[in-house]
Structure formats: structure tokens, C-alpha cells
């Protein structure tokens, strides 16, 4: 098992190779999480019963889903900067540490490459829904669900170069849980409707907008934008996307109050 840093600097780890188990833990729960229920009755668990608002409860929820046999796919949706990647890295690590091997597979690996965005004239809107290969992501999720006898390789997204990297994340046969996350997991149109269907559950990460925008802007600066460019990018690119994402919140199987989890 190896420990490494995600390109954006949040500590997590990835398996060093196909033979190794999934992620190791990046940060421990402080038992102060809040998860709450809402919405449909599709989930295998009640979305309200038994919720005590703790990170430990989230882990128990996934463990219960895994008892049904088969590989569990948990999706985490939410606005840009809401903490999806941080939560996914923590969850995969904590599950692995608890004896349920889990791998974090970001939807961001399905960003179109710059060469294609240039061709489409969409490079200046990277992050909008049409700048992802949504059908490719759906095909990966279906493979992850069905192809449990082979290593399935997923792409990562490198924030330093802002490009997807093919074959970067091995999901070994013994991975019992895949935690995936991205902006558009709950969108109503295609292929996103089928993306939700391919998941066992999709959660929505909530975070106060003021904190979210502050963290998002800081991260853009950390990865090379000037403060002015960062503010402009958030206003012109990220926030129009956020409006569409926020509208999908009610479709989630579970709402997670990210900041009360106490992970970073």
C-alpha cells in the first residue's frame, strides 16, 4: 500500500499497483460528521433511520451496503470546491483501513484533453458538463460493477497540467468499494441519468457557499492563476456550473454536511 498526495495537495493514497489493495487512510473521522437523509426510497438503507450525524455512520452505511455482496459504487456529487475529492479520498482510505478495500476513482479523469477542447473551442470553459467524456465515464462505471475478476484501470486528473492521465488508477479484483466523485453525477439528462443508475448510491456534499468559494479561489491560485484570474474563473466558469449542480441536490440518496465531518 502506498501513500501519496493528490495533485491538489490533499493527502490521500492510491494503490501502488494492481496487486495491492486500495487506498490507505488519509485522515481519520472525528465522529462529528453530519449526514442526513432526504428524497427517494431507492437506497438500500433508510436515509434517516440510524443517522447519528457521524463520519462513523457513513462508514457503517457503506459496510451495510457491501453486505449485499458484489462491488459497491458510491458516488459523491456537489458544487465545485465543495469537498468531493477530499471526502472520497477519506472514505476510501477509512474503508480500507476498516478491512473493506476501497478505491477512489474521480470523474475528473474523464475531462477531455486540451487538444480536443481546443478543437471544440471549449478550452476556456473547462469543467462545464460538455467538457467531459460522460459516456466514457459511464462505460467505466459499468466495467467496475461487472468486471470484478480483472484489474480495471481508471484515468486520473493531474491538476498541475490540468490533463487526464489514462491508466493511472488500478482497481484490483479485491476492491469491494469504489468511491467516485464529480460535479455532474446527479444531472437529469443522458448519460448522467444512467451514471446514477450505475451507482449503488449517490451522495451530495454540502458546504457553505462563502467557505466553498474561498477554498476554490485559493486552490486556483495554488495551481497557477493570479488572484484576479482566480476570481474571474470562479465567477465566469465555476459558478455557472454550480447553479446547474445545485439544482440536482434533491436527487441525492444522502446529503453530507462536508465541513462537519472534520476531514481535510
Angle (CA) 179 185 191, round 5°: 120
Question: Which one of Mg ion, ligand ATP, none is in contact with 80 (Cβ closer than 5 to 8 A by kind)?
Answer: ligand ATP
Binding site for ligand ATP (CB under 6 A): 8, 10, 78, 80-86, 183, 215, 219, 264
Min dist CB 163 to ligand ATP, Å, is 15
Pairing of strands 34-37, 163-171: unpaired
Nearer to Mg ion, 14 or 47 (CB): 14
The mark string for 115-154 relative to Mg ion (x by CB under 5 A, - otherwise) is ----------------------------------------
Can you list the alpha helix ranges (DSSP code H) found in the chain? 55-66, 84-97, 114-120, 134-146, 192-198, 209-222, 227-233, 239-246
- Count of positions on this chain that bind Mg ion (CB under 5 A): 1
Out of ligand ATP, Mg ion, none, what residue 8 binds, judged by CB under 5 to 8 A for its kind, is ligand ATP
| Min dist. Cβ of residue 46 to ligand ATP (A) | 26
Q: Are 153 and 170 in contact (CB under 8 A)?
A: yes
List CB contacts of 212: < 8 A, sequence separation 6 or more.
Answer: 79, 80, 81, 82
Contact (CB, 8 A) for 217 and 239: no
Using rule CB under 5 A, residue 241 touches Mg ion: no
Q: Copy the grid coordinates of residue 76.
A: 459523491
Q: Please identify, using beta-carbon distances, which residue of 85 and 241 lies nearer to Mg ion.
A: 85
Shortest CB 7 distance to ligand ATP, Å = 10
SS3 136: helix
Out of 43, 85, 131, 156, name the contact with Mg ion by CB under 5 A: 85
Instruction: Give least dist CB 75 to ligand ATP, A.
Output: 13
CA-based angle 79:194:192, to the nearest 5?
30
What residue ranges bind Mg ion (CB under 5 A)?
A: 85
Amino acid at each position: 500500500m502506498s501513500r501519496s498526495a493528490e495533485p491538489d495537495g490533499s493527502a490521500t493514497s492510491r494503490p501502488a499497483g494492481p496487486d495491492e489493495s486500495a487506498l490507505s487512510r488519509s485522515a481519520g473521522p472525528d465522529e462529528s460528521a453530519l449526514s442526513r437523509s432526504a428524497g427517494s426510497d431507492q437506497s438500500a438503507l433508510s436515509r434517516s433511520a440510524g443517522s447519528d450525524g457521524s463520519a462513523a455512520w457513513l462508514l457503517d452505511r457503506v459496510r451495510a451496503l457491501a453486505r449485499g455482496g458484489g462491488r459497491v459504487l458510491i458516488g459523491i456529487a456537489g458544487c465545485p470546491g465543495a469537498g468531493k475529492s477530499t471526502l472520497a479520498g477519506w472514505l476510501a482510505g477509512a474503508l480500507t483501513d476498516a478491512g473493506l478495500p476501497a478505491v477512489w476513482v474521480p470523474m475528473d479523469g474523464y475531462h477531455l484533453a486540451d487538444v480536443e477542447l481546443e478543437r471544440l473551442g471549449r478550452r476556456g470553459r473547462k469543467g462545464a458538463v460538455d467538457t467531459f467524456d460522460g459516456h466514457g465515464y459511464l462505460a467505466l462505471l459499468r466495467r467496475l460493477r461487472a468486471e470484478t475478476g480483472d484489474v480495471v484501470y481508471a484515468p486520473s486528473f493531474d491538476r498541475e497540467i490540468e490533463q487526464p492521465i489514462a491508466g493511472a488508477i488500478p482497481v484490483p479484483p479485491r476492491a469491494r468499494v469504489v468511491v467516485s466523485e464529480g460535479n455532474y453525477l446527479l444531472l437529469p439528462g443522458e448519460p448522467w441519468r444512467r451514471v446514477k443508475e450505475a451507482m449503488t448510491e449517490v451522495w451530495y456534499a454540502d458546504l457553505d457557499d462563502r467557505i466553498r468559494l474561498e477554498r476554490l479561489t485559493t486552490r486556483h491560485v495554488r495551481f497557477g492563476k493570479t488572484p484576479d484570474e482566480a476570481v474571474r474563473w470562479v465567477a465566469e466558469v465555476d459558478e455557472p456550473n454550480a447553479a446547474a449542480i445545485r439544482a440536482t441536490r434533491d436527487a441525492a440518496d444522502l446529503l453530507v454536511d462536508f465541513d462537519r465531518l472534520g476531514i481535510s
